[in-house]
Structure 1
Amino acid sequence: MKIAMVGSGYVGLVSGACFADFGHTVVCIDKDQSKIDRLHDGIMPIYEPGLAELVESNVKAGRLSFTTSLAEGIKDANAIFIAVGTPSRRGDGHADLSFVHAVAREIGENLANDVVVVTKSTVPVGTGDEVERIIGESGSSHKVSVVSNPEFLREGAAIGDFKRPDRIVIGAEDEFGQETMREVYRPLFLNESPILFVNRRSSELIKYAANAFLATKITFINEMADLCEKVGADVQDVSRGIGLDGRIGKKFLHAGPGYGGSCFPKDTLALLKTSEDYDSPTRIVEAVVKANDTRKRSMGRKVLDAIGGAEGARGKKVALLGLTFKPNTDDMRDSPAIAVAQTLTDAGVEVAAYDPEGMELAKPLMPNVTMCEGSYEAIEGADAVAIVTEWDAFRALDLERVKQIAKAPVLVDLRNIYRPEDVRNRGFTYVSVGRP
């Protein structure tokens, strides 16, 4: 099949490369000429493990190509995927659908054959109806089926998630859309990946409901961590104890500085706005959003407390290890590290930071933070070391070296990646999350 992927960002590029690896012919389309030029040169616009190699092999095989021309890219396509950004709209938190609508309009103006148009972007309920209406305004006589097919890719593990998915959700309103999507995903039938066919609006809501539920699990265990600290319990034991219940599950029950990234923050906000529009309050999600925002600043205060409190913090130095919202990505969107750094600099603390992949994107978001070439450069002369993102590079720090070069042996572990007794036995003041 020929697939056109409109949008060559995180979702579009990963999806396009994986579809090409399945054997489909894929054209990735993007208006950003510099991005397309870099892709032609083999330079990825994002960091995702294995993506550069996957793109290179499929370009060489002639199954994957790039263009800025939508008209050229969708010519003879069996399926056109819309994978453009839907960021939170300034002022009201609604998902900004301007890019989706613009693509739908351009598709309508350039239709040359019967086609299935697939919304891969995360969009509010009813967006498919609007895409269908916009395309219909072109007056084309070609048959068009608008389908919803949300993505469930974890940054840092996206290729594996795409090729070995938990489920594939397809919201189709007619047989043409269903049959085309069956053919698109036919290579995954061998893996017995469950394909769930639902109506379009159910598919759109599944994505938001899934992300809101996962965000709720994260926020719940973070609040339990706070309670653990008060009562002398260990949140990791609590997490294991409840996670072994098959009705609950162990994933997303790791206490930390709160969720961030490209999905959970904007999707929970968009779900809240949808619920308001339909006069169907989602009070739990509302509480999750508020609690997570508060969480990030409270982690900054936890670091301040480790160096003697806000009153005596001015002039002290903290080394921040890890800036991205999670490891194995360069994504800084809504990263907890931003709020932690801001809390520290607001108190007059000098902040030096290191992240294996995220520093270029972090620089404009953290203008008062010194970016360093490595962990130990950041730690030099620090009154405390704070681990904010659990990159593998931070799991086995040379603690004796840290003790020698830091001004004070204080380790604030916001991801609980160290055993308290191991660190304290080496003479450190050790602060973690939800542990005595």
Structure 2
Amino acid sequence: MSAPRLSVIGTGYLGATHAICMAVLGYEVVAVDVDPAKIEKLAAGEVPFFEPGLPEQLAKALESGRLRFTTDIAEAAPADVHFVCVGTPQMPGSDACDLTYVDAAVTALAPHLDRRCLVVGKSTVPVGTAARLTALVQDLAPAGTDVELAWNPEFLREGFAVNDTLYPDRLVFGVASDWADERLRAAFAPILEQGTPVVRTDLATAELVKVAANSFLATKISYINAMAEVCEAVGADVKDLADSLALDDRIGGRFLKPGLGFGGGCLPKDIRAFAHRAEEIGVGQAVSFLREVDAINRRRRARTVDLVRGMLGGDLSGVRVAAWGAAFKPNSDDIRDAPALDVARTMHGLGAHVRIYDPAALENAKRAFPELRYGDSALDVARDADVVVLLTEWAEFREIDPDALAGVVAHRRIVDGRHVLDAAHWRAAGWEYRALGRS
């Protein structure tokens, strides 16, 4: 079977990464987006978001001549496999998933499909979406039922997206026919040749895999943070507790790190949309625990602010705070639902003079929250600070020497919102160190 020609609809984080990496793997790819500015940047070799390694892959893809960017969806028509990679944000005023962009992408693409081809959803959607879209695309496409729909959920981790695309730990193919399965295997042939496991399943299961995985991870994170609240009540140490649990091979240590909790554009909105959809189909009680998972996670932000206030006698008015971090996680410039910015904004609202530094997310933070103050480095924002608050676990924050930092701050106080600093080392250097769940 010859290599299929590919189109990628949507060039946000998922779509741009997928299009670039598939071209690097040897496929002819046309990437489509309705945003001319985004297309212009990508075509010029500029990745419009921060992702380590992706600019280098984009340069390779463009140099190969196999990757094109366009705003004209008609140019996607000759492709054999069309990947739909548009965003599915949380619906304003609701926990439901907003399918506006998915529906628009399929509605725009379908009238150009006049021969047998495969449309593949990669976006994270509520279960049942694929069945509805199958009917929609076959109704609108001139080729009718010769157009099939499949689902291939993505499992990208921000900061590791290139590796996760080129060397995934598994591929999930939700298909309705052997032909669709064969087309997907042809579209991922170089990856399958590496021995990557494939799970072939139905459309509904493929839709559920991503939200089920994210819900499991969110539950694990919130569990250890709930234990931190218990530790605070009894004077125990949640880090030692987590380290002990991690040695149990039934549990493991991944995602068992206490701290400020999760954020970003996936876990928060995915667990809310999953719970919402479960209620719609009459099984809300089965995943009702996800509401508490979300609530525990949200509480971490307020409790971190309370920890800072407690360190400073209960009042933040006029206090100079150095906030280290704005992105929801390191190696990313994503500030969606970022706990770091939420904490910084709350302290600002309580009268503190907050200055923020982040290695990658500063420009996004400045656009979203121009009322906050920013600095050029970790030491810059810490100058004359009454307290330093570590909110995103960037390597450069973890590696700062406490003695060097002591030379610029007004008071040696630090709140480790991510449990990444060596408490004994900082205390030995004369610092008052605090972290949630630790004495």
Q: Same fold (TM over 0.5)?
A: yes
Match of 2:337 among 334, 338, 348: 334
Counterpart code for 1:389: T
Instruction: Report the more deviating stretch, 101-110 or 294-303.
Output: 294-303
1:227-280 deviation per Cα after TM superposition (whole angstroms, max 9, x unaligned): 223333332332232223332222101111011001001101100110110121
The yes-or-no answer on 1:290 pairing with 2:290 is: no
Partner of 2:356: 353
1:268-325 deviation per Cα after TM superposition (whole angstroms, max 9, x unaligned): 1100110110121211111111221222222122122222213xx2111100001100
Match of 2:260 among 257, 262, 285: 257
SS where residue 313 of structure 2 aligns? coil
SS where residue 24 of structure 1 aligns? coil
Match of 2:113 among 111, 114, 117: 111
* 8 Å Cα contact 2:218-2:293 kept in structure 1: yes
* 8 Å Cα contact 2:149-2:175 kept in structure 1: yes
Alignment CA distance shift 1:387-1:84 (3 Å):
same
* 8 Å Cα contact 1:345-1:368 kept in structure 2: no
Partner of 2:137: 135
Counterpart code for 2:23: A
* 8 Å Cα contact 1:17-1:58 kept in structure 2: yes
Q: How does 1:194-205 map to 2 (within 5 A)?
A: 194-205=197-208
Counterpart code for 2:350: A
Q: Give ranges in structure 2 of 5+ residues lacking alignment.
A: none
* 8 Å Cα contact 1:3-1:77 kept in structure 2: yes
Instruction: Report the more deviating stretch, 393-402 or 175-184.
Output: 393-402
1:54-110 deviation per Cα after TM superposition (whole angstroms, max 9, x unaligned): 0111110112111111111x2321100110011011122211111111111112111
1:137-187 deviation per Cα after TM superposition (whole angstroms, max 9, x unaligned): 225235111001110000001111112212111110111211101111111
SS where residue 414 of structure 2 aligns? strand
SS where residue 137 of structure 1 aligns? helix
Counterpart code for 2:100: S
State the shift of 1:378 in Å.
Answer: 0.2
Instruction: Report the more deviating stretch, 421-430 or 238-247.
Output: 238-247
Task: Output the CA distance in 1 between the equivalents of 2:384 and 2:235.
Answer: 32
Q: How does 1:85-164 map to 2 (within 5 A)?
A: 85-138=87-140, 140-141=142-143, 143-164=146-167
The yes-or-no answer on 1:48 pairing with 2:16 is: no
The yes-or-no answer on 1:167 pairing with 2:157 is: no
Task: Output the CA distance in 2 between the equivalents of 1:27 and 1:244.
Answer: 47
* 8 Å Cα contact 1:353-1:378 kept in structure 2: yes
* 8 Å Cα contact 2:221-2:257 kept in structure 1: yes
Q: How does 1:36-435 map to 2 (within 5 A)?
A: 36-72=39-75, 74-138=76-140, 140-141=142-143, 143-281=146-284, 282-310=287-315, 313-435=316-438
Runs of at least 4 residues off by over 6 Å: none
State the shift of 1:421 in Å.
Answer: 1.2
CA RMSD of aligned residues (A): 1.3
Task: Output the CA distance in 2 between the equivalents of 1:291 and 1:366.
Answer: 25
Task: Output the CA distance in 1 between the equivalents of 2:334 and 2:228.
Answer: 26
Structure 2-normalised TM-score? 0.96
* 8 Å Cα contact 1:341-1:366 kept in structure 2: no
Task: Output the CA distance in 1 between the equivalents of 2:171 and 2:393.
Answer: 29
1:11-42 deviation per Cα after TM superposition (whole angstroms, max 9, x unaligned): 00111111112111111111100111111221
The yes-or-no answer on 1:30 pairing with 2:39 is: no
SS where residue 95 of structure 2 aligns? coil
SS where residue 172 of structure 2 aligns? strand
Task: Output the CA distance in 1 between the equivalents of 2:247 and 2:426.
Answer: 28
Task: Output the CA distance in 1 between the equivalents of 2:236 and 2:299.
Answer: 22
State the shift of 1:345 in Å.
Answer: 1.4
State the shift of 1:191 in Å.
Answer: 2.0
Instruction: Report the more deviating stretch, 6-15 or 235-244.
Output: 235-244
Instruction: Report the more deviating stretch, 388-397 or 225-234.
Output: 225-234
* 8 Å Cα contact 1:76-1:112 kept in structure 2: no
Task: Output the CA distance in 2 between the equivalents of 1:301 and 1:152.
Answer: 35
Task: Output the CA distance in 1 between the equivalents of 2:375 and 2:185.
Answer: 49
Task: Output the CA distance in 2 between the equivalents of 1:206 and 1:417.
Answer: 31
Task: Output the CA distance in 1 between the equivalents of 2:77 and 2:110.
Answer: 12
Task: Output the CA distance in 2 between the equivalents of 1:198 and 1:32.
Answer: 34
SS where residue 193 of structure 2 aligns? helix
Counterpart code for 1:295: R
* 8 Å Cα contact 2:33-2:71 kept in structure 1: yes
SS where residue 66 of structure 1 aligns? strand
State the shift of 1:226 in Å.
Answer: 2.2
* 8 Å Cα contact 2:112-2:141 kept in structure 1: no
* 8 Å Cα contact 2:8-2:30 kept in structure 1: yes
* 8 Å Cα contact 2:112-2:142 kept in structure 1: no
Task: Output the CA distance in 2 between the equivalents of 1:205 and 1:417.
Answer: 33
SS where residue 192 of structure 1 aligns? coil
State the shift of 1:404 in Å.
Answer: 2.2
Percent same amino acid among aligned pairs?
Answer: 37
SS where residue 275 of structure 1 aligns? helix
